[in-house]
Amino acid sequence: MNKAPLKIAVAGLGTVGGGTVQLLHDQADLLAARAGRPLAVVGAAALVRPPELPLDGVPFFEDARVMARECDYDVLVELIGGADGIALDVVRMALGRGRSVVTANKAMIAHHGIELARLAESTGANIGFEASVGGGIPIIKSLREGLAGNRVTKVMGILNGTCNYILSTMRDSGRDFADVLAEAQALGYAEADPSFDIDGIDTAHKLAILVSLAFATPIDLDRVACEGIRHVSALDIRYADELGYRIKLLGVAGLTESGIEARVYPAMVPLSFPLAHVNGPFNAIVTEGDFVGRTVLEGRGAGARPTASAVAADLMDLARGRTMPAFGVPVERLASLPTAAAGAHRSAYYIRLMVRDEPGVFADIAAALRDEKVSMEQIIQRGRAPSETVPVVMTVHETGEAAMLKAIGRIRALASVADLQVIRIENL
Ligand code: NDP
Ligand code: HSE
């Protein structure tokens, strides 16, 4: 093997950066055999040098900008994080020098991916972001290459390991939200600011990237409606069980006649659908293409080793000289597509009310649903507690979102209703 090594500079040595350095060390022979050349780390940057990483003899930079500007590398691996700031600076510097970039930074790609892809095209560099969506699942390659012969009409899935870990652990153990979130953080799954996970923003970043790849359109984060899991309670998780569902935070995008619909929301998923059984930090992504039909990919969506595996996939493509436009086609070939009208979405719903247990309550609720032509499927109320509120759970048949919002507004305004939670039911 006489070929020159692929020279790699790693910016960020935390969960993913550390995992990547470890993988490049542990799998060095395997990677070199498969790429036909060694992959060599020639620079590493972080605020503090982590002593446990196998970086003997590798120049260390406390300032990643200095490394990006001055180090002699073929590819800069950006694993610092954040949509802007230092991460964006070092990526722009590398691409500006005609050096390729590999990143796991979905926030940066969701906000600046098109600009960066254009910059890469202009300087003859490449930018890979396999690790930005689905952790170790090769979904970017799948959409860009494996499904290239299809018109993809739908892409949806569980895209955030932290939320999936929280929801499934709460269900399995009965532990509370804050406790399980702290555990997900300690395991290295969560973002530096975990509200990005639990408020659905991280899923929205990932969905925006998938929409661009699936429908060959520029990334448009503003079109992704976003709702997180803060309001999902242990009570809702128990009722979901009883009704034959699991609650999952989903990112769902479809190409409809009126344009692209892209949303992030917690949903009740029927036990008959594979996504219901994806637990812990695992992610799963469902795609529908006109020739292939439905495909489902599942795997670990967060953590050092799975994410390093995805970073390595991009590095191997660069080492082998197998490159292609970041979004499958050159940026100027991406087509602007309209966003589907809000309110047109149809869904079944779960509604949990906390109501005062007194005569006429059900009649008022039923009247609000009847007036908006929302059809009730089932209703559960147990126990009597005349002096306090009791939970009442209903499911309603598929209905238009606009009608549902009106009915909910009327129910919420009833004096006997103390609290109301609504969760979509995803009938797949
Ligand atoms: P960490 O917080 O664990 O690591 C961040 C690293 O960046 C640390 O080494 C930190 O240095 C370094 N850093 C921070 N600021 C600077 C700076 N100014 N100059 C140089 N280095 C700096 O984050 P993760 O590894 O979890 O995430 C990295 C990226 O990967 C993010 O974009 C994230 O969204 C993405 N990602 C994360 C996944 C996960 O499971 N964690 C999965 C998929 C993607 P120091 O340690 O010295 O402070
Ligand atoms: N915080 C992210 C998650 C990391 O939990 O899915 C992987 O992108």
Query: Structure tokens of 93?
Result: 């510097």
Residues framing ligand 1 (Cβ under 6 A): 12-17, 45-48, 64, 79-81, 86, 104-106, 131, 135, 188-189, 191-192, 302-303, 307
pLDDT in tens, 97-151: 999 999 999 999 999 999 999 999 999 999 999 999 999 999 999 999 999 999 9
Nearest residue to 162 via CA among 183, 179, 176: 183
Centre of ligand 2 to C-alpha 203, Å, is 8
Which band of pLDDT confidence, cut at 50, 70 and 90, is reported for residue 383?
low
Q: What's the pLDDT tens digit per position in 285-340? A: 999 999 999 999 999 999 999 999 999 999 999 999 999 999 999 999 999 999 99
Tell me the best of 105, 106, 197, 229 to mutate to test the pocket of ligand 2, counting ligand atoms within 8 Å of each CB and taking the most. 197
Give the ligand whose atoms come closest to the C-alpha of residue 184.
Answer: 2
Residue 199 CA, ligand 2 centroid: distance in Å:
12
Which residue segment(s) compose the domain that 59 sits in? 6-132
CATH of the domain at 55: 3.40.50.720
Q: Which among 105, 129, 169, 202 is the best mutation to test ligand 2's pocket, defined by most ligand atoms within 8 Å of the CB?
A: 202
The closest residue, in CA terms, to atom 3 on ligand 1 is: 14
pLDDT computed for residue 2 by the predictor: 65
Of the candidates 382, 262, 310, the residue with the CA atom closest to the CA atom of residue 140: 310
Same domain flag for 155 and 254? yes
Residue 82 lies in a domain: yes
Is 321 domain-assigned?
A: no
Domain shared by 190 and 232, yes or no: yes
- Is residue 327 one of the residues assigned to a domain? no
> Atom 1 (ligand 1): residue with closest C-alpha?
14
pLDDT at 362 over 90: no
pLDDT at 1 over 80: no
* Residue that wins the pLDDT comparison between 9 and 257: 9
Considering 132, 154, 173, which residue would you say is the last residue of a domain? 132
The answer to whether residues 124 and 177 belong to one domain is no
Looking from the CA of residue 189, the nearest atom of ligand 1 is: 40
Q: Give the whole-angstrom CA distance, residue 174 versus residue 238.
A: 9
Residue nearest to atom 7 of ligand 2 (CA): 302
Which CATH number do you get for residue 275? 3.30.360.10
| Same domain? 168 vs 237 | yes
Q: For residues 21 and 130, what is the distance between their CA atoms, to the nearest angstrom? A: 17
Establish if 1 belongs to a structural domain: no
The identity of residue 268, as a single letter, is M
**Considering only CA atoms, which residue is closest to atom 8 of ligand 1?**
14
What region, left, alpha or beta, does residue 50 occupy, with left being phi > 0 and alpha being psi -120 to 50 degrees? Answer: beta
User: Relative to the alpha carbon of 18, which ligand is closest?
Assistant: 1
Q: Which residue is associated with the tokens 């652990």?
A: 169
Longest dimension (CA), the chain: 85
User: Alpha-carbon distance 285 to 326, whole Å?
Assistant: 20
The pLDDT score that the predictor gives to residue 282 is 98
Nearest-atom number in ligand 2 for the CA of 283 is 6
Ligand 1 center to 83 CA (angstroms): 12
Identify the CA nearest to 350 among candidates 308, 398, 281. 398
Ligand nearest to the CA of 102: 1
Active site residues: 206
